Structure 1
């Protein structure tokens, strides 16, 4: 098998894992063949490999679900991800200061999701716990990331999410949205009121590594009745400092590796 063929085979195998979602947690072989267009022999070859590796589990007389290897990798991720290791103490500090949920959110591809969180609120309210993909355009986290994306990445994202952006009042055209995001960029953080979870205020600032594009965000979500304008400004200052500290750690690590 050539290198190109091996790469294509890997992509086709990984495509099976990509179909799992909250909307459909279990898939039968017939559903997978219809969704992916694979022949039966090809599909069963991939399923056998993924099952033996622990990425999939099969249920008798039913379909396939994600397997225990995913849990094992998640454990290793928590112990090795530089973002999580650098950010965990800041999440703890934020929850010690405020009755809130503090989140560390990773951006990858066209997705953003929480990779670490701490809670101190008595009855925390969050629609997106760790591991659940978040909206690309709604909420403080999405806005704090969008505002710092390079234009070539930002314009297509705005165009693809214009309906959501219009609903939350960010603008009705690409130029209007860009103008709104300029204000976020100038402030260095974003604030959203009830856009993701009703009654909850989100405050978020971006995290970078050695590059110019944000790779993550630090966010606090807090019940709206617990904050006013001054409190939001105070929380925002702490979040910006936390994001800057994490950025510094990641940048130093990247430069250290590059120098070796």
Structure 2
């Protein structure tokens, strides 16, 4: 079965973008055609379409193309996400050690917070953990952090359109409280407690860090050691990323 034309177009465009690298900072349509097995007219059409989309720009040499501003922006964002993941482990270990709780780092995926790194406290007989790759529900502490601090609140509004109106209004009140206090908390019916706080880089919120445990081992009170430790970890990791941590009321 032949793939739909638009899928093939995306694949071909990705192949063109994949030609760039340290040894290939710019490329011509003729070179792209030769390396990808395309005719020159097709390769040129892809290159000019990518220019129109902002993914490529015209190079200094006649007929050449270089990575565009949009591609650089997306690349910088991707590197920022990878940077926080690479820097996070010692901060998570410190949080877990101080609180004797499970420390979790989440990133924002296409439709919610996704658990990316976990540091477990092995000293406790009863261990509460979260599986890496889990997409967290909107009522989780880390999802609330992202929803409260996300730079694109229009996207947040669209995501929340499927939430029943009464529940959505309550969630909006909760998010406003998160912005005032600087952290989010969650206690579920099984006695599991989570406290989350935002991590910032130069672009805004880039991750959420949380401590997870039982209602006997963790507290959501503002003046509790759990909340203080989570906030200190989030601020320290943000500082390591070169970001100013916003003041809270």
Correspondences of 1:61-72 after superposition (within 5 Å): none
Q: Structure 1 stretch 140-149 or stretch 232-241: which is displaced more?
A: 232-241
1:123 alignment partner in structure 2: 126
Change in Cα spacing, 1:175 to 1:102, as seen in structure 2 (3 Å) is: same
2:17 alignment partner in structure 1: none
Deviation readout 1:208-259 (Å, 9 max, x if unpaired):
21123x221000001112244658732112211211222222236xxxxxxx
1:189 and 2:183 equivalent? yes
Change in Cα spacing, 1:95 to 1:232, as seen in structure 2 (3 Å) is: farther
Contact 2:103–2:120 at 8 Å: present in 1 too? yes
SS of the equivalent of 1:246 reads helix
TM-score, normalised to structure 2, is 0.59
Structure with the greater alpha carbon radius of gyration: 2
Contact 2:221–2:227 at 8 Å: present in 1 too? no
Matches of 1:220 and 1:89 in 2, distance apart?
14
**Number of residues paired by the alignment?**
171
Matches of 1:131 and 1:241 in 2, distance apart?
25
Residue 192 of structure 2 is aligned with which of 200, 210, 213?
Answer: 200
Deviation readout 1:64-106 (Å, 9 max, x if unpaired):
xxxxxxxxxxxxxxxx931122211111111112221101111
SS of the equivalent of 2:133 reads coil
Change in Cα spacing, 1:181 to 1:11, as seen in structure 2 (3 Å) is: farther
Matches of 2:115 and 2:132 in 1, distance apart?
5
2:166 alignment partner in structure 1: 172
1:141 alignment partner in structure 2: 142
Contact 1:100–1:222 at 8 Å: present in 2 too? yes
Matches of 2:104 and 2:13 in 1, distance apart?
31
Contact 2:220–2:227 at 8 Å: present in 1 too? no
TM-score, normalised to structure 1, is 0.57
Pairwise CA RMSD of aligned residues?
3.1
Contact 2:101–2:218 at 8 Å: present in 1 too? no
Matches of 1:201 and 1:232 in 2, distance apart?
16
Gaps of 5+ in 1: 13-79, 164-170, 253-260
Matches of 1:199 and 1:10 in 2, distance apart?
51
